[in-house]
């Protein structure tokens, strides 16, 4: 196996040849054609919104995006490289199996979260052959900070990462609840007083997360 690398991390191409032992010596087949793994397509149509976490009652960010399947092209790889390509393909090599998210507040430095395995595609989009839709939610302290939150994501397979998606921006931060109506005094006595007020109105209405 011979690997061509652009640096210590990125694999650019792979080439194979077969060794056949014969007694104390061995003979080698001619090297195969170079097999060049390709990165998966980058996420498309990413959307971001705030939602209420139904389990904990807190605020979470819910993001959704699509993975467009890249068309396959027949290549003249040779017998050995064709077998390698088939094995890479069978192991979901060209397709995305993981994703990574990075986020920042407007004007700040990107923070990359740890890569994770792709969630299961949405059930209502499994039948689509050209794209698969995904949803993922996360909690972050920046969701309570007033400002613009910018989020990007990318896909990865066993070897390579795609480029980052286009940014999705969301206005985050919760203002204090606003009092509605007047404060009422009830049961006033020389020693105590009872206060009564209507419910406070939330500064923003959030949908209940799934």
Q: What percent of the chain is modeled with pLDDT above 70?
A: 68
Q: Any alpha helices (H) in the chain, and if so which ranges?
A: 79-90
How confident is the model over 93-97, as a mean pLDDT?
A: 70
Q: Give, in degrees to the nearest 5, the angle at Cα 57 between 56 and 63.
A: 90
How confident is the model over 70-95, as a mean pLDDT?
A: 52
Burial 175-204 (b: 16+ CB within 10 A, else e): eeeeeeeeeeeeeeeeeeeeeeeeeeeeee
The residues near 203 (Cβ < 8 Å, ≥ 6 apart) are: 174, 175, 176, 177, 178
Tell me the Ramachandran region of residue 67: left when phi exceeds 0, alpha when psi lies from -120 to 50, beta otherwise: beta
2 exposed, middle or buried (CB, 10 Å; 0-12, 13-18, 19+)?
exposed
Higher pLDDT, 87 or 189: 189
Select from 3, 8, 70 the least CA-distant residue to 42.
Answer: 70
Q: Give, in degrees to the nearest 5, the angle at Cα 95 between 101 and 160.
A: 60
Question: How high is the pLDDT of residue 127?
Answer: 52
Rg (CA), the chain: 27
Say which range, 5-14, 73-82, 156-165, 170-179, has the weakest mean pLDDT: 73-82
Question: How high is the pLDDT of residue 81?
Answer: 52
Higher pLDDT, 72 or 13: 13
Task: Pull the structure tokens for residue 128.
Answer: 């689509």
Q: What is the pLDDT of residues 8-44, one digit of tens each?
A: 556 567 777 788 877 777 788 777 766 667 788 889 9
Q: Transcribe 46-60 into DSSP letters.
A: EEEEEEE-TTT--EE
Burial 51-68 (b: 16+ CB within 10 A, else e): eeeeeeeebbbbbbbbbe
How confident is the model over 164-169, as a mean pLDDT?
A: 93
């Amino acid at each position: 196996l011979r690997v061509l690398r652009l640096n210590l991390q990125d694999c650019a191409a792979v080439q194979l040849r077969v060794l056949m032992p014969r007694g104390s010596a061995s003979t080698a087949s001619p090297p195969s054609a170079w097999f060049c793994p390709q990165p998966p397509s980058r996420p498309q149509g990413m959307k971001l919104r705030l939602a209420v976490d139904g389990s904990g009652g807190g605020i979470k960010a819910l993001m959704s995006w699509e993975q467009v399947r890249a068309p396959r092209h027949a290549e003249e790889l040779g017998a050995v490289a064709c077998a390698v390509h088939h094995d890479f393909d069978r192991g979901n090599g060209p397709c995305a199996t993981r994703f990574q998210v990075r986020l920042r507040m407007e004007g700040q430095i990107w923070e990359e979260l740890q890569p994770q395995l792709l969630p299961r595609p949405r059930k209502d989009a499994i039948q689509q052959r050209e794209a698969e839709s995904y949803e993922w939610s996360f909690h972050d302290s920046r969701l309570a900070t007033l400002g613009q939150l910018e989020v990007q994501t990318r896909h990865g397979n066993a070897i390579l990462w795609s480029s980052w998606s286009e940014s999705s921006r969301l206005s985050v931060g919760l203002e204090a609840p606003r009092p509605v109506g007047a404060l009422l005094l009830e049961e006033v006595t020389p020693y105590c007083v009872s206060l009564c007020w209507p419910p406070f109105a939330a500064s923003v209405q959030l949908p209940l997360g799934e």
